[in-house]
Structure 1
């Protein structure tokens, strides 16, 4: 099933509509709202922008605030302009309760991080059912156990990914996605581990939530990934890198997002999810990062 049309059942009428409008009207809206003249394009001028319906927040960034006030945090994200979220940790709430809070805030969940051992074990069926409850399309493996960090281990994971991805498709969801860290891009015994996953998984069943910070940290080039593996990256973790290599609010660090996103469409990107692993003030990080992405032209 095509990720672009996959949505879990249910909803109150707003789900999916905002993302559709943001995608189809993104450029027109920018121009009509008085965007800078160079946003209209022309020789040597950037003309693309991230659709507003594609700018989301990966909720790991907001974990301390969510633990104190889950619904209030969602409301504040929506007020900033965020349209979507990636769920990562439920803070004692059921999937149904989180869905109610998301609906109240008029936010859409697009994915949920679920431990690899859960997805490959007897918990798979419940995890996929919870995705439907959340209204999300993609189950995401957030990391692989350290014991699998070898060519043989990643080939085993690729086989499991195909099996889980098939189950997700049969359940009416989108592809299984994998979220990378820096060590996933290591070359072991002359083999790039991440490339094993890219080449030994079925593109119809398995995609990737590319964390651009960890990709760069691991020596990969996100823009090159989009070109070499078209359509494999429906979601991104947009995370910036400080000059000292630490995390930074999006737009305040050293990563060249405009150049990186130049090939994002070919890579299949539909969701740009902000993330910061250790924000001093998560709401300031959310606000700063949204403003940057909403204004970015490339």
Structure 2
């Protein structure tokens, strides 16, 4: 998801091995580590029930035909979706459309002010109506972009996470590039990891932004913080640093996913922030993930 990100345009590090060795992004061809990974064949695969689409990718066709777009995604093979924008539909109506095509909503993105304010009880009820298990904060207000601000966020997340747990859900946070910046000598994302209760707060890791942010390689995060990343945004990076269909860019997904089990990953949700053709992007990304072995 793009809204609200604070991206460091000067850092282009991305995952080169499962332990987060960075390699430079070249122009016109895959770096050596990613090219080598593309040739590897392992015995593990993403379970079909774990391949989903984050619906922010499909926002343009959803606005025109919500039900038809969901039907198309189910026809491609997607099993799950992450909800990000209802386009005038109620949670109950979306649930009916999902059930009709046998898709399952696993989460919904809900704004920080709602999650930390009086709107939380209704938001939790809405996630239940959708059939999800996670309520996800997609970004943070810019005014909180400091170590002190992120410590306050951690306190608010622990409080909201307790309410989510009491309702049978779990609170997750979705990162952008700015979350991985080092400010006053400390990684802002590390503050959230260290100061939130693992029993109450987890993370929906956007691997593109973690890689582009430059300080938090996804595979390394899975090892350092086991069990904290039940969902991923699987988004690829073009050689120039832009967004790309999954499998067409420079990120080394086989190496990255090698430690995903340690991270607790259960959902691999495809995302492309600005696809020229959302359905073509959805097909290409699903094809890659469904065939991937690592």
The CA distance in 2 between the partners of 1:191 and 1:176, in whole Å, is 24
What does residue 264 of structure 1 align with? 260
What does residue 196 of structure 1 align with? 191
Q: Which runs of 5+ in 1 are unaligned?
A: 1-43
Q: How many residues align?
A: 254
Compute the displacement of 1:45 (Å).
5.1
The CA distance in 1 between the partners of 2:41 and 2:99, in whole Å, is 39
The CA distance in 2 between the partners of 1:107 and 1:164, in whole Å, is 28
What does residue 154 of structure 2 align with? 158
Alignment of 1:1-298 (within 5 A): 46-173=42-169, 175-219=170-214, 220-298=216-294
- SS of 1:127's equivalent in the other structure is helix
- SS of 2:86's equivalent in the other structure is coil
Q: Deviations over 1:153-193 (max 9, x none)?
A: 000000000011100010111x2000000000000000100
Is the 2:127–2:135 Cα contact (8 Å) retained in structure 1? yes
TM-score by length of 2: 0.86
What does residue 12 of structure 2 align with? none
Is the 2:41–2:293 Cα contact (8 Å) retained in structure 1? no
Q: Which runs of 5+ in 2 are unaligned?
A: 1-39
Q: Deviations over 1:216-257 (max 9, x none)?
A: 010121000000000000000000000000000000000000
Runs of 4+ in 1 over 2 A off after TM superposition: none
TM-score by length of 1: 0.85
Q: Which has the higher contact order (CA 8 A, sep 6+)?
A: 2
